[in-house]
Chains A and B, each alone.
Chain A
Amino acid sequence: MCDTTKTPKVATGDRAILPEGARTIPIFVMGKKYEVPETLTIMKAMEFAGFRFLRGAGCRGGICGACPTVYRMAGDYKLHFGLACQTVVEANMYLAQIPFFPANRASFKLEEMEGVAETIHALYPELFRCVACNLCTKACPMDVDVLGYVSAMKQGNIEKAARISFDCIQCGLCASRCMGEIPQYHAAQLARRIFARYIQPQAEHLKNRVMEIEGGKYDPMLDELSGMKKEDLEARYVAREREPDLAAAGTWQPKDTSHL
């Protein structure tokens, strides 16, 4: 057990701080009990207990999908799922990290495929092993309706699959629970890519800007900058025209518009 009374109450490197007077609660990491401050997230609590994350921790902001955690509460048969960096500890949590779960990812060349559902069906035929048990949806720490998007793919509705799966962070917990052994999150990523490339209308201004860039419009400007001496470049940077803070949108234009 971690002895909290001797824990320094100051920030020490990447160690979590035990605030003055904070209550501690017991959690179980891989079956071993630790007393941790009740205010911490699972990730911070584990670090508090002495674990170091070399992998299995990424953005710490709930979006990279590197720290999926599965846990049970003592005495409750239900499995719970969450992101270690987002979920606050509760007393008597039995925790296990699942930073990676093996799932086959089909290789494909997006530019060479057809933007139809059969493409997804051919690359991920496992989709048709779905029995609608919904364990995937229950496992999702982002509350994505995984069964919903798997069903949408089977129904040929790529747009629906792309939209339902939009919040997916590719953590793989869905695949860890699937009795049909479907790599749901990889299939959903393909659906979103096909949707973006072949189905969603392209934004005209974006297309035009990409054409300008690829046509070399900005190459001379870049060449000029990269050919400059350091001092000149610094002087240019300091003297640059800058949009005033909080300027209302569309109200400001630089004096020199030759680079627009």
Chain B
Amino acid sequence: MKISYYPGCTLKTKAKNLDRAAIASLEALGVEVEEIDRWNCCGAVYSLTADDLIHMVGPVRNLIRAKEQGADKLVTLCSMCYNTLARANQLMREDTVKRDTINRFMDDEIDYAGEVEVVHYLSFLEQEIGWEKLKEAVKAPLSDLKVGTYYGCTLQRPADVGIEPFGSYLLMTGMLEALGATVVPFAAADKCCGSYQVLGAEPVENSAAAAVINIAGGAGIEALATSCPLCEYNLGKQQKQLLAKEKIGAPVPTYYFTQLLALALGLEAEVCHFELNDAASLELLKSKNCLAAA
């Protein structure tokens, strides 16, 4: 099986760990990953301003690339990219007036009307591999690991592009349970991580991330799994500072779900690029023997 893949800028720079582990895992599962040629920024954030079509041009251009390269599905991974691409796609499918305006503006490109389907990696895993088959492929089950599915804001919102109904966490739960982990529910799975607010203030003032970590820690969660580089930045990279300022009681190491997937599939730890995670993450995995296969 071959899929068209849209990585996104952050996955090629700060969040290589999310990208590399994802590609290696799919390859281990027998899926050929083909990055679309000549892609650009997804738009980063979906513009909510009503008359702001110029910010649709970026995401739509990527969808046009996928279409002209013969893809009917475009798999993507970063929560922000998924959200922005899927919503721009929805606009191109449903709003004929705006679609026409955008197509006319992009007169150097082929016309686009939402022919490509934007699919999140987790949905792809469930639909095309399935949890049973994934379970069979696991070589190093994460048996001792209590994981929280941290969805953040953009995987489930808004409802018509969400990867599953708001308030359910079936996809990541299904994947993690197939990997042998214990999924522990907690009350902050869809709370905001603090988003870009941290850029304007001292990171320690970001109580949103601290709240998520404290609720997760209180629920007995040992590790958080996310698919969003912004969430990982707020929850993972800033933990040391949050801990030093006593904003959080105890660290809860944060991972990309693809890193846990790659480890359970028995891949080398190198593909996970743990050097890009917070230091605590690797220690936990060692103590839980999750790195045994590597």
Which residues of chain B (35-89) have a CB below 8 Å from chain A? 38-41, 43, 54-55, 57-58, 61
Q: List 17 A-B contacts (CB under 8 A).
A: A130-B58, A132-B41, A132-B57, A133-B54, A133-B57, A134-B61, A134-B106, A147-B40, A150-B40, A151-B41, A154-B41, A155-B7, A155-B9, A155-B12, A156-B9, A156-B13, A157-B12
Contact A131 B108 (CB under 8 A): no
Q: Beyond A117-B13, A154-B9, A179-B54, is A134–B108 a contact (Cβ under 8 Å)? A: yes
List 16 additional contacts besides A117-B13, A132-B58, A133-B57; criterion CB under 8 Å.
Answer: A130-B40, A130-B58, A131-B43, A131-B58, A132-B43, A133-B54, A133-B105, A134-B106, A134-B108, A138-B108, A147-B40, A148-B38, A154-B9, A155-B9, A155-B12, A155-B13
Would you give the 0/1 interface string for A114-150, flagging 1 where the beta carbon is closer than 8 Å to chain B?
A: 0001100000000000111110011000000101101
The residue on B at minimum CB distance from A150 is B40
Q: In the complex, what distance in Å separates the CA atom of A95 from the CA atom of B68?
A: 35
Within 8 A of B (CB), among A173-199: 179
CB contacts (< 8 Å) of A179 on chain B: these are: 54
Pairwise interchain contact A131-B39, C-beta atoms closer than 8 A:
no
- The answer to whether A132 and B13 touch (CB under 8 A), given A147-B40, A148-B38, is no
Q: Which of B7, B55, B58 has the most CB of A within 10 A?
A: B58
Contacts of A134 in B (CB 8 A): 57, 61, 106, 108
Residue of B nearest to A118 (CB): B13
How far apart are the CA atoms of A163 and B9 in the complex, in Å?
18
**In chain B between 103 and 118, which residues have their CB closer than 8 angstroms to a CB of chain A?**
105-106, 108
Which A8-66 residues sit within 8 Å CB-CB of chain B? Answer: none
B51 to chain A, nearest CB (A): 15
Kindly report which residue of chain A lies nearest to residue B105, judged by CB atoms. Answer: A133
> In the complex, what residues of A have CB within 8 A of residue B41's CB?
130, 132, 151, 154
Instruction: Give a binary string over B1-31; 1 marks a CB under 8 Å from any A CB, 0 the rest.
Output: 0000001010011000000000000000000
CB pair A151–B13 under 8 Å, yes or no, is no
Docked complex Cα distance between A212 and B45 (Å): 55
Please give me the residue from chain B that is nearest to A133 by CB atom. Answer: B57
* Interface contact A151-B54, CB-CB below 8 Å: no
Max chain B CB contacts within 10 Å: which of A132, A145, A151? A132
A22 to chain B, nearest CB (A): 35
Residues of B that sit less than 8 Å from A by CB: 7, 9, 12-13, 38-41, 43, 54-55, 57-58, 61, 105-106, 108
* Closest Cβ neighbor of A134 among chain B residues: B108
Q: List 5 A-B pairs, minimum CB-CB distance, nearest first.
A: A132-B58, A156-B13, A151-B40, A155-B12, A132-B40
Taking CB atoms, residues of chain B closer than 8 Å to A155 are 7, 9, 12-13
In the complex, which residues of chain B have a beta carbon less than 8 angstroms from the beta carbon of A148?
A: 38
**Least CB distance, B23 to chain A, in whole angstroms:** 15
Chain A residue, CB-CB nearest to B44: A128
**Shortest distance in angstroms between B46's beta carbon and chain A's nearest beta carbon?**
13
Bound: A151/B40 CA distance, A: 5
B contact residues around A118 at 8 Å (CB): 13
Q: How far is the CA of A241 from the CA of B26 in the complex (A)?
A: 65
Best-buried of A148, A155, A156 by chain B (most CB within 10 Å): A155
| Cβ–Cβ contact B61 & A132, under 8 A | yes
- For A147, what are the chain B residues with a Cβ–Cβ distance below 8 Å? 40
- Rounded to whole Å, the gap between the CB of A179 and the closest CB of chain B is 7
Complex: A145 Cα to B65 Cα, angstroms: 14
| C-alpha gap A145/B39 in the complex (Å) | 12
List chain A residues, Cβ under 8 A from B39. 151
Q: Are B9 and A145 in contact (CB under 8 A)?
A: no
Q: CA separation between A132 and B43, bound complex, in Å?
A: 8
Query: Nearest Cβ distance between residue B273 and chain A, in whole angstroms?
Result: 14
CB <8 Å contact, A131 and B55: yes
Across the interface, which residues of A come within 8 angstroms of B12, CB to CB? 155-157
B284 to chain A, nearest CB (A): 28
Give B74 Cβ to nearest chain A Cβ, in Å.
16
Distance, CA A132 to CA B40, complexed state (A): 7
Contact string against B for A residues 218-257, beta-carbon threshold 8 Å, 1 for contact and 0 otherwise: 0000000000000000000000000000000000000000
Quote the shortest CB–CB distance from B288 to chain A (angstroms). Answer: 32
* Listed residue (A117, A147, A148, A151) with the most chain B CB atoms within 10 angstroms of its CB: A151
Bound CA–CA A130/B107 (angstroms): 18
Please, which residue of chain B has its CB at the minimum distance from the CB of A130?
A: B41
Give the Cβ gap from B105 to chain A, nearest Cβ, in Å: 8
In the complex, chain A residues whose CB is within 8 Å of the CB of B57: 131-134
- Could you say which residues of chain B place their CB within 8 Å of the CB of A130? 40-41, 58
- Cα A118 to Cα B10 in complex, Å, equals 12
Complex: A157 Cα to B38 Cα, angstroms: 12
How far is B10's CA from A155's CA once the two chains are assembled, in angstroms? Answer: 7
Indicate the member of A145, A154, A179 with the most B CB atoms within 10 Å: A154
Closest beta carbon of chain B to A162's beta carbon, Å? 16
Give the shortest distance, in Å, between B243 (CB) and chain A (any CB). 26
Nearest Cβ distance between residue A173 and chain B, in whole angstroms?
16
CB distance from B179 to the nearest CB of A (A): 29
A151–B41 alpha-carbon span in the complex (Å): 7
